[in-house]
Every structure is written in structure tokens, then in C-alpha cells.
Structure 1
């Protein structure tokens, strides 16, 4: 089980505002990444997100991505 969070980033202090959170039952992180990137463009949210992050079942951040920093991963 992975949790995908979509968020905005405030430029002045890098604070994050979560726009939506989706649980995804995936077999592995690669599957969760594909789902997250697909949802980034298609999920209806109150605002367009700046980035997303994926957390594992323990709540540990395992992946971060944004169009401005596509290679940012952990």
C-alpha cells in the first residue's frame, strides 16, 4: 500500500499545502510511480499541484517528483 500526496509549494519558504491524498494498492514502487504520474495530470483538485510524493505503508517518503525537478527521487 502506498499513499500518493499532491501538493503546492510556497515559493517564499518551501512550505507544502496538500491538495489531495490517494491510497494506491500497488505491487511495487514502480507501479505506484506510474499511477502517481498519471493522476498528476488527470485528478481533479482545487488547484494544480506543483509536485507529488509517495509514501510507503509506514509513512516514509520514498519518492518525490515535480515538473520543475523530474529527477528528484529518494
Structure 2
């Protein structure tokens, strides 16, 4: 299935969302899309670290969305 993954920064003051990355691709199913999104969140070269992501299908319907837990991300990344 064709999907688009968008990565966002979220401004806490007014909940404004800014897209910092977008990738379109073909995946087997939603589980594969979520796994790809997690991988891209760590490896994609974006101007800022994303706070959240949304996965859309080719019709623009939201299939999945989530916010990242900053504490969890810090645990997953190795220390420099």
C-alpha cells in the first residue's frame, strides 16, 4: 500500500504543527508502515528532531499518529 509519513514539531504555546520531514513509500501493511516510521524518525536527516508523526494512506486518510516520548528517545539513543 502507498503511504506518506509526516514528521512534526509541535509548539506547546498554541499547539501549532510544523512539518520537518515527509516521506512517501510503498509498504506491505500498517505494521510495516509504523516500523518504517520509527526507523525514519531516528535516521532521516531533518532540520529538527520531530515531536510526532502521522501516517496517511494515498487518499489522505490518517492511518496512525503518535507523539514521541522525549525520555524514551534519550534512552534508545546511545550516549556520545
Tell me if both proteins adopt one fold, taking TM over 0.5 as the criterion.
yes
Aligned partner of 1:71 in structure 2 is none
User: What's the CA shift string for 1:3-29, capped at 9, x where partnerless?
Assistant: 000010010111110011100201111
Aligned partner of 2:28 in structure 1 is 27
Question: TM-score, normalised to structure 2's length?
Answer: 0.80
Between Structure 1 and Structure 2, how many residues are aligned? 68
**Higher percent of residues as strand:** 2
Q: Which runs of 5+ in 1 are unaligned?
A: 69-74
Q: Secondary structure at the match of 1:12?
A: coil
**Higher percent of residues as helix:** 2
Moved segments of 4+, more than 3 Å:
none
**Structure 1: distance between partners of 2:64 and 2:34:** 8
Question: TM-score, normalised to structure 1's length?
Answer: 0.86
**Structure 2: distance between partners of 1:7 and 1:26:** 21
Aligned partner of 2:64 in structure 1 is 63
> C-alpha root-mean-square deviation of aligned residues, in Å?
0.8
Based on CA coordinates, which of the two structures has the bigger radius of gyration?
A: 2
